[in-house]
Amino acid sequence: MYIIKQLRRKNNISQSQLGKEIGVSLRTIQLYERKDANIPIKNLTKIAEYFGLTIAELYMHEVNDMGEAYTKRQPFTKHGSVFYPLEHGKYLVMAPLVLVEWHKKYIQSLQKHNLSNPFQGGFIIDFLADEPHRIFEVSGDSMNDSSLEAIPNKAYVLGLEIKKESLTRNNETFWNQSYILVCENRIICKQLTGYNRKNKTVLCHNLNTSPEFQDFELPLDDVLQVFKIVKKQL
């Protein structure tokens, strides 16, 4: 991000110093300061905190300083996410972030109907939706086939919640797309290919064709939440 370089220079901080502060190499900071860099949310949070900013403020500085002034409309909150209006119909959404180490706690909070999450992440989106947004850190490489659709280990994905009952309609628009499935004992990322009405299961497909990753059927009763993946950060 351009703003990282600007903040670093303003505070007279070298790339090596910043890398040391957030626990990454000089080379990594050099990569982060490129325009199209993909910065993991964990490290982006550390950078923001180091400069006394939130991730949202980092994004806002980035958009403003690059000459792409955002509109004067006020941010608003919806389903636990904060939306910052930008130009050209885009929004910065700061949504609850579920890190891998928080997967179990997230499931427990759902089961106790006491949802709490201390983390947030940011995505730029092109449209608003009525459904709740959540960001999940993906665990494992079952969805990593090195294609454009791949979702590798430690990737962050932005999901829109859909009602799991809608999958029973066997609507073709649901299938062959990637989802986050919050189950009773784990959170998984899979491509769904159909619904078995007899067994009441959804058909889960792995993009990775390695022998250790086998497709399977998942009882819909074991699923607590379903999120359709709309964006990803590698």
Q: Give per-residue burial for 67-104: e unless 16+ CB within 10 Å, then b.
A: eeebeeeeeeeeeebbbbbbeeebbbbbbbbbbeebbe
What is the rounded CA–CA span in Å between residue 78 and residue 131?
9
Report the pLDDT value the prediction gives residue 25, as an integer from 0 to 100: 92
Distance in Å from the first CA to the final CA of the chain: 15
Q: What are the per-10-residue average pLDDT scores of the chain (234 residues)? A: 83 93 91 76 85 79 53 79 85 91 92 78 89 96 95 95 93 94 97 96 97 97 97 87
Tell me phi and psi for residue 45, to 5 degrees: -65, -45
Single out the residue of 84, 29, 23 nearest to residue 56, CA to CA.
84
pTM: 0.78
Q: Are the C-beta atoms of residues 157 and 121 closer than 8 Å to each other?
A: no
What is the rounded CA–CA span in Å between residue 4 and residue 61?
10
Facing residues of 216 across strands? 204
Report the pLDDT value the prediction gives residue 69, as an integer from 0 to 100: 46
Q: Are the C-beta atoms of residues 17 and 48 closer than 8 Å to each other?
A: no
